[in-house]
Structure 1
Amino acid sequence: MIQTSARLLQLLSLLQVRREWTGPALADRMGVTERTVRRDVDKLRNLGYPIHASPGVAGGYQLGAGAQLPPLLLDDNEALAVALGLNGVAAGPVAGIGEASVRALAKLEQVLPSRLRPKFAMLKAAVTTLPSNAASVDPQQLTVISAAISDRRQISFEYIKSDGDSGRRLVEPYRLVDTGRRWYLVAWDVDREAWRTFRADRLASLPTERKKYSPRPLPAEDLAQYVQQSITRSPYRFDVVVRFHAPLADVAAVVNPQYATLSAEGPAVTILRAGWDNLAAPAAHLASLDLEFEILEPAEFREFALHLSSRLRAAATGPVTGAADVGAPPQ
């Protein structure tokens, strides 16, 4: 069985190398008889590979189009899921993948069973994807990083910080995390001897692989949660904590996880934690939500909310004579 399987893979490889082979040429190359070649061709056809045969002295075997990958054994729902996924990827944040997804979708649509085509056409027409303002990423960068993570190799790259400064970084890559709008790399910074989170769209050069490294203990068991903590709280001036008098599911439905972390304090109480560089932005955002909440931290945020409410009340009712002047807290 192993010998037969290896021979089938060899035959498939030969058919992919050259556009057309004669039977005697294949038999000679593989060290078998022409009868064995014919049998192996039939086995590949039974596996789903379109192998065409032309008779005559100038004839031979040719691998048909669409056989670059082995046939995928997908049920109806899986095939529709893959097709819809490819259809949606075209608007994704990975630069250059949109065109590739369209090509892959065209190939998949071509081989979809006739019973599935009307259903797919109906689903495709019913689903519309809004244009995204997500930061685009070079797919080759993601490929190199993924390979380095798999091989446990250090990588170096030019990185642009949020303030515009750039520099060379040497890191041990551990995980790529997709937040929907951006890709992040969790890595150990060799020079700074600390864990760092890097935005993939700020890589100014293609990562270069370096020497292998030994894995070290991760900064957290859940690296996706670690990235969320890093991008929603760590780099900011104010660490805002708010208590919502609403279930976690209700708050999660209106608060983007890229901007805050949520935790349930009870069946009808939710705690929000988020980092902000100014207090006007979270005040406006929280006030726009149709949910009851109270500000827990920091004290500056409570003071700012009082000042803002006074200004809004004055704007709605007109200036109040003799009202005390309320100083504006830091923004």
Structure 2
Amino acid sequence: MPDVTRRMLELLAQLQTGRRFAGGELAARLEVSPRTLRRDVERLHEYGYPVTTQPGPSGFYQLAAGRTLPPLVLDDDEAVATLVGLALLGSAGPPERDGHSGIAAAADRAFGKIDQFLPKRLRPRVTALRVTVEAAPQSAPAVDPEALAVLGLAAARHELVTFGYIGRTGRISRRRVEPYRQVHLHLRWYLLAWDIERADWRSFRLDRMSGIATTAAPFAPRPLPARSAAEYLREGITAPRHRAVVTVEAAAAAVSDALRFQDCEIEALTATRCRVVTRVDSFEWLILNIALTGAQFTIEQPAEFRARSRELAERLWGAGDESAR
């Protein structure tokens, strides 16, 4: 945390006690000079905090009564990022929303009122941004914000949870798990947890969970089975697929744009050359999407991929050969 931010938060913590502080006393508590203190108080005024000041030998600083929950302390870029984040989250919801439930609906509501909690100087800019930004709707299962909050608290406290779960086949089971991480991947929310009955790591979609309940039973944390929960989840989802490695004679950014809907690793080898590592259900899909970039490419792995590429090339050549008609 930057020194200025830490100092401002400490200053707010002192003022929110409601006490009157002499300038010297408050400066000493914060371990800053009187000049720095005056500058920080001016910052609070800019953010919209009603700090009463009285100069002179008997002067003091005091936060106005009834304002113990002042506006959010955000700089310009943070305010823009918050608004854009809410817009993106609000766009990802079920095809038919009732407008009253789910994390997307909550983000929509927050998007409409966020400027009320910002410093006055930022409100015009944020209001202008809000009325001119649109995020295209994306179909995603509804997830209850309360579920995210309950699971997050249980994971932080290392507390067992139970819930009903609908599997891929539609079978309903009751699960008892050690919650570790919640991951957002491909417009879905997942819980990575250790399943007590199955004695193994499992990932659960939050939209398929019901009756989530904490048990107050603690557990000793285990090391994660991968460098991150997101990495473990990705590996589990892509494990049944075919691994493909392709070198493309194009900039990594251009290839990333062409494969933006594909979960893959793109490594820049030079400014105009990159390597793509991914897992696919269909080699043909990957061949066509890379070919449409207009760049030359080399199939490194697997050999089957190279053979399928030649077969596809022959079919495409035949489709455009008028002499064969």
Residue from 115, 118, 124 that aligns with 2:124: 118
C-alpha distance in 2 between matches for 1:304 and 1:310: 10
Determine whether 1:284 maps to 2:288: yes
SS of the residue 1:205 aligns to: strand
Question: Deviations 1:19-48 (Å, cap 9, x if unpaired)?
Answer: xxxxxxxxxxxxxxxxxxxxxxx99x9536
Contact 2:15 2:62 in 1 (8 A): no
Q: 8 Å contact 1:90–1:97 — kept in the other structure?
A: yes
Q: Say if 1:48 and 1:71, in contact at 8 Å, map to a contact too.
A: no
Q: Deviations over 1:227-285 (max 9, x none)?
A: 33333x2133x222222233434333332375223334566543323223343433333
User: Which residue of the partner structure matches residue 274 of structure 1?
Assistant: 278
* Structure 1 residues 158 and 175, CA gap change in structure 2 (3 angstroms): same
CA distance in 2, matches of 1:164, 1:299: 38
CA RMSD across the alignment: 3.6
Aligned counterparts, 1:207-218, within 5 A: 207-210=212-215, 211-218=217-224
Aligned residue in 2 for 1:54: none
> For residue 184 of structure 1, what is the aligned residue in structure 2?
190
The 2-side partners of 1:134 and 1:310 are apart by 39
2:240 matched to which residue of 1? 235
Mark the runs of 5 or more structure 2 residues left unpaired by the alignment. 1-13, 20-51, 54-60, 95-100
1:199 matched to 2:215: no
Whichever residue aligns with residue 161 of structure 2, its letter is I
Tell me how far apart the structure 1 counterparts of residues 262 and 191 of structure 2 sit (CA, whole Å).
15
Shift of 1:219: 1.5
Residue equivalent to 1:86: 86
Structure 1 segments unaligned to the other structure (5+ residues): 10-41, 52-66, 322-331
Question: Is residue 103–residue 142 contact of structure 2 (8 Å, CA) maintained in 1?
Answer: no
Partner of 1:217: helix, strand, or coil?
coil
Once the two structures are superposed, the pairs formed by residues 30-179 of structure 1 within 5 Å of their partners are 47=63, 50=66, 69=69, 71-93=71-93, 96-110=102-116, 112=118, 115-179=121-185
* Amino acid in the other structure paired with 2:211: L
Residues 47, 71 of structure 1: 8 Å contact kept? no
2:43 is aligned to none
**Which consecutive segments of 4 or more residues in structure 1 shift more than 6 A?**
4-7
Q: Which has the larger radius of gyration?
A: 1
C-alpha distance in 2, partners of 1:191/1:215?
17
Identity of aligned residues (%): 35
- Corresponding residue SS for 2:86: helix
Change (3 A) 1:153 1:5: same
Cα distance, 1:146 vs. partner?
Answer: 0.8
| CA distance, structure 2, for counterparts of residue 121 and residue 8 of structure 1 | 32
Name the CA distance, whole Å, in 2 between partners of 1:243 and 1:113: 50
Relative to structure 1, the CA distance from residue 277 to residue 162 in structure 2 (aligned partners, 3 Å threshold; closer, same or farther) is: farther
Instruction: For 1:122 and 1:71, locate their aligned partners in 2 and report how far apart those are by CA, in whole Å.
Output: 19
Report the Cα offset of residue 149 of structure 1: 0.8
255 and 214 in structure 1: CA distance in 2 versus 1, 3 angstrom threshold:
same
- Report the TM-score, using the length of structure 2 for normalisation: 0.66
Greater share of strand = 2
Q: Distance in 2 between matches of 1:240 and 1:230?
A: 16
How many corresponding residue pairs? 266
Residues 90, 103 of structure 2: 8 Å contact kept: yes
SS of the residue corresponding to residue 283 of structure 1 reads helix
Greater shift in the superposed pair: 217-226 or 263-272 = 263-272
